[in-house]
Structure 1
């Protein structure tokens, strides 16, 4: 994968094309602030990175679309993306075209038809990145993920502030989580994690998942067996309590208990007769009427007794008055007429005196009344006897009705109890049925144990196969080979510590020199020229290994302003402006020539056809350097963005 061309489009439809040689050295030199450093941002933006890092200013204001044509072995891929709308910081939408020889699209043909995820997936596949998954130790909290084309960015760009940085070797190494991403994915890109290993690891993850499920099922089955006897005894006791099982020996074994529970499944509820609520209502009405009759009869008895009591009192009073008048009996009585005679009257004198008449009349009246009262007593006594007998009969009927009512109510309670017992029994039978259904059978338990043994064997076998892959040794061997080339390139740069073996340390992401007395990391070395040499040596050695072993890393490297270290100051370097005179006057020409000579030979001898893109302020008269120029030095104009292009506000 290389860069065929870069294209930018103005808001009014104009296009600017920048063509590269896909093989060899490409140099863009010129004044500062002409857009050279933005090229790496544009390439990265069109390789599936959503974040838009193109500097603020002319490019953002005047460019509507960015496009890059990538050259693969058998095809070309165009990726175009619009500038994020409304000054946004990211854009995920893109346009994609594929073909053997693509035509550069016109502005009117630019249309979104895909997104960054699809771009990343396509470029990763065309690069040949195998199916993979980063290895994460069980004790680590980070998630495993797939390596893709975005994980090659670390080795494609050496920007102005990075190319001679003693504390940072790879692009974006200083960002959070990315150092670990480099450590996780570089072994995959270098071929340590092969496709066969990926398949083994994928199969192992599946087998481990199946084993976890099997362990859980087997554990549940064994727990169920351990507790089934206690559950069975409990259910057996409940079944006995509700009457669906007769009493049995409490010491019977588990099989007998299970057999007894199984017999419960044929239980049928008792037939419940219809209740007699209407008869109860009728009995209650009849009982109420009898009680009312009894109250009425008792009231008549009470009235008769009260009457008899008053009559008896009258008799007593009349008798007392008669007794008082018995003195009249001492008066003479005319034997002929039978009349009482007044003693003070003359013999045969009629008793016609007023006093005698009154006394005699009173005595006669009392005597008559007494005879009447005495004559009514037998009838009253007979009436009371009749009422009493009637009351006794009603009381007997009340007792009989109460007995009948109690019996009817008791019968209904029995019917209700029969329904409740059936319901309770049905609930217990249902629980017994569920228990028997979930009770592991001997055959099922044996099957679970056999399956568990098979999965344990499968996991062990896969772990052994993966263990024989000796990835750590392979990675160490690859890094040793790369480190040997790092040492060789450092010697070509004639940098400090060139006499000691240099080592690419993946855990620390730096270059370490193995001096006899102690190792020296790049961060403890001095001199920008040395740091530049270490950076480029590491990247060139890495790409050399990738190219020689057909590893899925793009075959290009973009280096931004590497010769800055050969000028007295950054100010003097920027003032070179791509001119021969200023370069020759201010730069360490020998070092500049050595750098470009090394880069040129790298693309010709070490990795023939490798694409190097260098953006610079320096310029050399050497014809090989001039042949490597993509365009005339950018001096405003020319520049990446033409001055006449309108900004978005001016369209």
Structure 2
């Protein structure tokens, strides 16, 4: 069983100041009142106490006179008290107080609160209390996530700027990364995600990422078998200052390290006959040669791919021609007379067809030979392409080493040029060689990279076989079809435009769409705030109705902030909260749909509405639990403000 809200608790700056705002689980509860009475803080306090990263409680009376906030969640006979201190800045407090209580227990006193639980631990505890399975791993585009209470709240809040927003259907949808999280986690909350299958899918995604990373690791280890560019540059410098003799060819790594060790042992001296060849110029010529070789191989690959494409086209055409000739080759050769064609049905001689049959057989034989030759050539072409790609990779590695050598050599020469005495220049080179050899010695002690390609490939194959056919998409489509029927029914009860057509939830674009004879009409293309409000209410109620009926772990509460705003003028000052005429009837109709859904799911679902309007009709009137109008009324008691003053 998942949770509902039994109360919001505020602790004032004085020890005896405690304000409790109770709510009845399984009921529609409305808090109505004037502006600046703290109504919206009901939603932001709930969000804050359920693990919000930021501090959503807005500046004003609530922030000024409250030192701690709390929410009491109830699930069956269990109750969770979650409290969080107010913050002196806009940064959220990093620790919470969580206390498990029997259902119906009053909130503890302020001196009993111990704010010691880190935010991430508190989120996990609240998640588990709400019945959300933290072991489920949902693959996403960039990583794997575990569903939590923070994901569930996307479907439990509708803020004042969200409840009639034509561009955003869910809470926080417009914020960074939230849209992706909504798409990824909603299938879990609806029940379309099989935990075992999700685990296998997550493992498969991880294994594929590991295989890709391991291939890069092996490639890097392979490149290390050549002398790094820095080592080559140091050898070139050592040769220039005559610490080493010229080398006939590029040494490998062990030889390079040995040469550098030899250079350290050489005695620096005044040099009179420096090498005439500039080592930087040698490296630049080498680089140009590598680039020319790379471009030549790239052109060769292009030619080979074009040849492969032409071969594929020819093979297709040849096989088609072979099939046509084979279907015409009905005439056979008589066993007793190889020169005579025979009817395929009665085997009687058919003299006139001999030339035709012979020609068909010759053409078929020729096509068979051509296809065999081209097929063999195609395999060889693919091999040549792969070999060319391997050469490209080797050249890329050589270019990297060349660039490293140029950079190191240029830096060394700048330093050496500052030294007038050649012996000092040689000593400077020896010092940098010594530093490099110390670093290289540490690298040599690192463990060798073990090739795990075969094991990872086998694991990927096993996971793919275990997954078989993924049925999650079919389950999700089936569930959404049922939910769409509920949305359509509620939209018609609200008498919304386009509700005479099928209405569906578009999980890709995160909106609702009316499928009309003229084509799909998304929410953003529907006119009037009344439609936007109505479809928001219909969608959220339908999702909660489905999750409650299917016993899914979505918290059983929905907080709506000011649904009536679409019926008031923009300059409404709150002096005449009563609506008249059709607007009043439409708003009462919306509340009737909400009340009917709550009654249908009773006691399994709760709706809390924060309102500016005040209607005398049902079901609004009987659902009001607080009416904050007039001086001195609001979420924060007036006595707290007077005491502070």
- Look up the match of 2:41: 38
1:194 Cα deviation after fit? 2.0
- Look up the match of 1:461: 462
Contact 1:8-1:63 at 8 Å conserved across structures: yes
Kindly report which structure 2 residues correspond to 1:601-616, keeping only aligned pairs within 5 A, or say none: 601-606=596-601, 608-616=603-611
- Look up the match of 1:625: 620
Alignment pair present for 1:59 and 2:59: no
The CA distance in 1 between the partners of 2:596 and 2:483, in whole Å, is 18
The CA deviation string for residues 400-436 of structure 1, in whole angstroms up to 9 with x for no partner, is xxxxxxxxxxxxxxxxxxxxxxxxxxxxxxxxxx9xx
The CA distance in 1 between the partners of 2:587 and 2:531, in whole Å, is 13
Return the TM-score normalized by structure 2.
Answer: 0.60
- Stretches of structure 2 lacking an aligned partner (at least 5 in a row): 224-443
1:537 Cα deviation after fit? 0.8
Q: 1:191 to 1:62 in 2, by over 3 A?
A: same
1:476 Cα deviation after fit? 1.9
The CA deviation string for residues 189-246 of structure 1, in whole angstroms up to 9 with x for no partner, is 22222211233235435765887799899999999xxxxxxxxxxxxxxxxxxxxxxx
The CA deviation string for residues 524-566 of structure 1, in whole angstroms up to 9 with x for no partner, is 1111111111111111111111111122211000111112223
Contact 1:576-1:617 at 8 Å conserved across structures: no
The CA distance in 2 between the partners of 1:217 and 1:622, in whole Å, is 71
Kindly report which structure 2 residues correspond to 1:348-497, keeping only aligned pairs within 5 A, or say none: 456-497=457-498
The CA distance in 1 between the partners of 2:455 and 2:517, in whole Å, is 54
Alignment pair present for 1:96 and 2:76: no
Structure with the greater alpha carbon radius of gyration: 1
Q: 1:518 to 1:217 in 2, by over 3 A?
A: closer
Alignment pair present for 1:3 and 2:9: no
User: Pairwise CA RMSD of aligned residues?
Assistant: 3.2
Q: 1:492 to 1:513 in 2, by over 3 A?
A: same
SS in 1 for 2:566: helix
Kindly report which structure 2 residues correspond to 1:30-429, keeping only aligned pairs within 5 A, or say none: 30-85=33-88, 87-101=89-103, 102-130=105-133, 131-137=135-141, 142-204=142-204
SS in 2 for 1:499: coil
Pairs aligned (count): 420
Contact 2:96-2:118 at 8 Å conserved across structures: yes
1:12 Cα deviation after fit? 1.2
- Look up the match of 2:532: 531
Q: 1:617 to 1:216 in 2, by over 3 A?
A: closer
Contact 1:11-1:647 at 8 Å conserved across structures: no
The CA distance in 2 between the partners of 1:165 and 1:210, in whole Å, is 42
The CA distance in 1 between the partners of 2:194 and 2:158, in whole Å, is 28
Alignment pair present for 1:597 and 2:597: no
1:33 Cα deviation after fit? 1.2
The CA distance in 1 between the partners of 2:574 and 2:152, in whole Å, is 30
Q: 1:599 to 1:180 in 2, by over 3 A?
A: same
- Look up the match of 2:425: none
Contact 1:9-1:66 at 8 Å conserved across structures: yes
Return the TM-score normalized by structure 1.
Answer: 0.59
Contact 1:61-1:647 at 8 Å conserved across structures: no
1:186 Cα deviation after fit? 1.4
The CA deviation string for residues 497-544 of structure 1, in whole angstroms up to 9 with x for no partner, is 011111111111111111122111111111111111111111111111
Instruction: Tell which deviates more after alignment, 201-210 or 107-116.
Output: 201-210
Contact 1:30-1:617 at 8 Å conserved across structures: yes
Contact 1:505-1:511 at 8 Å conserved across structures: yes
The CA distance in 1 between the partners of 2:494 and 2:175, in whole Å, is 29
1:453 Cα deviation after fit? 6.1
Q: 1:88 to 1:564 in 2, by over 3 A?
A: closer
The CA deviation string for residues 356-412 of structure 1, in whole angstroms up to 9 with x for no partner, is xxxxxxxxxxxxxxxxxxxxxxxxxxxxxxxxxxxxxxxxxxxxxxxxxxxxxxxxx
1:96 Cα deviation after fit? 0.9
1:50 Cα deviation after fit? 2.9
- Look up the match of 1:637: 632
Contact 1:76-1:99 at 8 Å conserved across structures: yes
Q: 1:79 to 1:576 in 2, by over 3 A?
A: farther
Contact 1:34-1:640 at 8 Å conserved across structures: yes
- Look up the match of 2:558: 557
The CA distance in 2 between the partners of 1:552 and 1:565, in whole Å, is 32
1:31 Cα deviation after fit? 1.1
Alignment pair present for 1:22 and 2:29: no
The CA distance in 2 between the partners of 1:181 and 1:100, in whole Å, is 34
SS in 1 for 2:5: strand
1:83 Cα deviation after fit? 0.7
The CA deviation string for residues 255-281 of structure 1, in whole angstroms up to 9 with x for no partner, is xxxxxxxxxxxxxxxxxxxxxxxxxxx
SS in 1 for 2:638: coil
The CA distance in 1 between the partners of 2:514 and 2:590, in whole Å, is 22
The CA deviation string for residues 590-626 of structure 1, in whole angstroms up to 9 with x for no partner, is 1122122111111112565310001112223346433
1:172 Cα deviation after fit? 1.1
The CA deviation string for residues 96-126 of structure 1, in whole angstroms up to 9 with x for no partner, is 1002233211122222121221221012112
The CA distance in 2 between the partners of 1:212 and 1:123, in whole Å, is 37
Q: 1:76 to 1:187 in 2, by over 3 A?
A: same
